Structure 1
Amino acid sequence: MSDAIDHSIAGPQEERFWLTTSDGVGIDAVLLRRAEPRTTAVVLANGFTGTYRSPHTRAIAEGLMSVGDVMTFDFRGHHGSGGQSTVGNAEIHDLEAVVSRLRELGYSRIATVGFSMGAAVAVRHGAIYGGVSAVVSISGPSRWYYQGTRSMRLLHLGIGRSMGRAFLRRFRKVRVTDRRWDPTPAEPREIAGEISPTPLLVIHGDADSYFPVSHATAVYDAARHPKDLWIVPGMGHAERAVAPELVVRVREWLKPRLSATEPEG
């Protein structure tokens, strides 16, 4: 298990979907699947400005293919999806649209794996919508409006000013709303306890330049069992920081929680 990519899977099949959320936003999604039908699936929820087109997201997806088929997607306001990004609030509907489509396709056990903003969305989705078999939060915030690091201060400048939003739209293909949250949703640390009895795995790097480790421990402490916390030495932030070895660990954590009903590669 020295490599995250399962080389027994040669070229997963790709199927593209255009989904519609409960509030009418179109979501661009791609399902990576094996040729034979399977009943387990993993959803990857990217961080802010992330996309399923990223080689980092693709590598993680391929590394999890032995657990189940993997659906990746772009949040609202990102790349090919419709609407505008609300930076973690209305995105809960995007994730539910993906999970619902997987259920329609016959997947009975589904895990959600979120990164940064996507981690906050996955925690909130697991607490509010439920119905998934496992939730994994990687590099996620515990509370809103955090500006305790230089990276987060720059991010708030980017989304809070018209020039910053124009830059994101032109150079990152991300369209951010200029409306403030009203009402403000419950913070991940406030709602994590509602995920139980679904298993929760919280992962955070001790070299994260956006959110310090205290964010991970706050979410973990607020959650109820079953739960696990991994603090990864030297790991930075979100998808780009996920090493092949960590994908292997996540894969092994997910397998028993998605049941050992799938044939081995």
Structure 2
Amino acid sequence: MKNPIPLRPARFIALALLGVLAVAAVIAYRNVRAARAVLHPARQPLKPVAEGMLSGRTDVVLRTRDGLALRGWYLPSRNRAAVAVMHGFAENRTQMLFEAEVLSRAGYGVLLFDSRGHGESEGDLVTWGDREREDLRAAVDFLSRRDDVDPSRLGVLGFSMGGTTAMLEALDDERLKAVAAAGAYPSLEADTRYSYGKWGPLSVQPALWTLRLSGVDVDAVDPMKRLCDLKGRPLLLINGDVDAYAPAFLQDALFQAACEPKTYWVVPGAHHGEYAKKAPEEYARHLRDFFDAALLSGS
């Protein structure tokens, strides 16, 4: 039997490079597919509302300035203040039933709605806060016109993507006098780098390219760099200490970037969105106390 012909160094290097390129291509393709999936999530049906919960709610349709119809519920205000409530990615308004009930029982008008591309609302592209700002603006427009609401007493509560959207819109809309953001990300690029960064640039850049090619202004979704533009309007940040989606180091950076008045509550043992599960009474109290101080003081 003939001895195998030894590989020449150049051929060995070429084969090694081909192997590296093949792995890189697989990683890039996988992350492009993943990025496309987060632009077009499957819609989740509304969860049933327990009897007696959110009593007095009415169906509403909001119209965004870019022409989309958003569906939601409104609970009238009994204290002249109101809060818009925004859910997270791949969910709908029923993700925030606990929060809506707490605020409604405290007398607040509550506008609970499905963001674009979610629930029963129109739209088929999710932009992670970029165009969702238009959704919140439509909500603020709605609340500002309500006879039961003083337009100088408006706040917003958002979870995850909704929390980032809440901060973004409040920076440009001074009608929002108080912002509560739970499990929010400081910027879309930072969140993408954290979520896709296991394999370094080979994972991150294809995901960012996909977002940008789909029309998402990644650089605009960066509330952290402008948080002090809230100009004295209070900010409440909430997070779980074992949240794998909104890790502590990103939340800490977000809080450090904000100017006073600001509050940061960390929920022991809570994963992403588990605040009501782990500490229901404390969570409810933090929400009530925050909005009472921000929207009712001096009333």
TM-score, normalising length: structure 1 = 0.78
Aligned to 1:21: 64
Instruction: Name which of 80, 85, 94 aligns with 1:44.
Output: 85
> What whole-Å deviation, never above 9, does each CA across 1:26-82 have from its counterpart, x for those lacking one?
111210236xx541111111111121134xx11221111114121100000112111
Tell me the secondary structure at the aligned position of residue 188 of structure 2: coil
Distance apart, 1:16 and its partner CA: 1.2
Aligned to 2:276: 242
The separation in 2 between residues aligned to 1:211 and 1:149, in whole angstroms, is 9
Aligned to 2:181: 137
Distance apart, 1:229 and its partner CA: 1.2
Instruction: Name which of 97, 108, 115 aligns with 1:75.
Output: 115
Change over 3 Å in CA distance of 1:231–1:148 after alignment to 2 = farther
Change over 3 Å in CA distance of 1:67–1:198 after alignment to 2 = farther
Residue identity matched to 1:63? V
- Does structure 2 conserve the Cα–Cα contact (< 8 Å) formed by 1:205 and 1:231? yes
Which protein is bigger by CA-based radius of gyration?
2
The separation in 2 between residues aligned to 1:11 and 1:210, in whole angstroms, is 29
Q: Does 1:32 align with 2:71?
A: no
| Number of residue equivalences | 232
Show structure 1 runs of 4+ deviating over 2 A: 9-12, 145-153, 240-243
- Does structure 2 conserve the Cα–Cα contact (< 8 Å) formed by 1:149 and 1:211? no
Tell me the secondary structure at the aligned position of residue 169 of structure 2: helix
Change over 3 Å in CA distance of 1:151–1:132 after alignment to 2 = same
Unpaired stretches in structure 1, ≥5 consecutive residues: 1-8, 161-175
- Does structure 2 conserve the Cα–Cα contact (< 8 Å) formed by 1:140 and 1:215? no
Identity of aligned residues (%): 27
Tell me the secondary structure at the aligned position of residue 296 of structure 2: coil
The separation in 2 between residues aligned to 1:10 and 1:114, in whole angstroms, is 20
TM-score, normalising length: structure 2 = 0.70
Greater fraction helix: 2
If asked which structure has higher relative contact order (CA below 8 Å, sep 6+), I would say 1
Q: Does 1:53 align with 2:94?
A: yes
Instruction: Name which of 70, 87, 97 aligns with 2:138.
Output: 97
Unpaired stretches in structure 2, ≥5 consecutive residues: 1-51
> What whole-Å deviation, never above 9, does each CA across 1:87-139 have from its counterpart, x for those lacking one?
22100010010011011013221110010000100011111112112100100
Residue identity matched to 2:188? W
Superposition pairs of residues 1-265 of structure 1, within 5 angstroms: 12-33=55-76, 38-54=79-95, 57-65=96-104, 66-83=106-123, 84-106=125-147, 107-108=149-150, 109-145=153-189, 146-147=191-192, 179-182=214-217, 184-238=219-273, 240-243=274-277, 244-245=280-281, 246-259=283-296
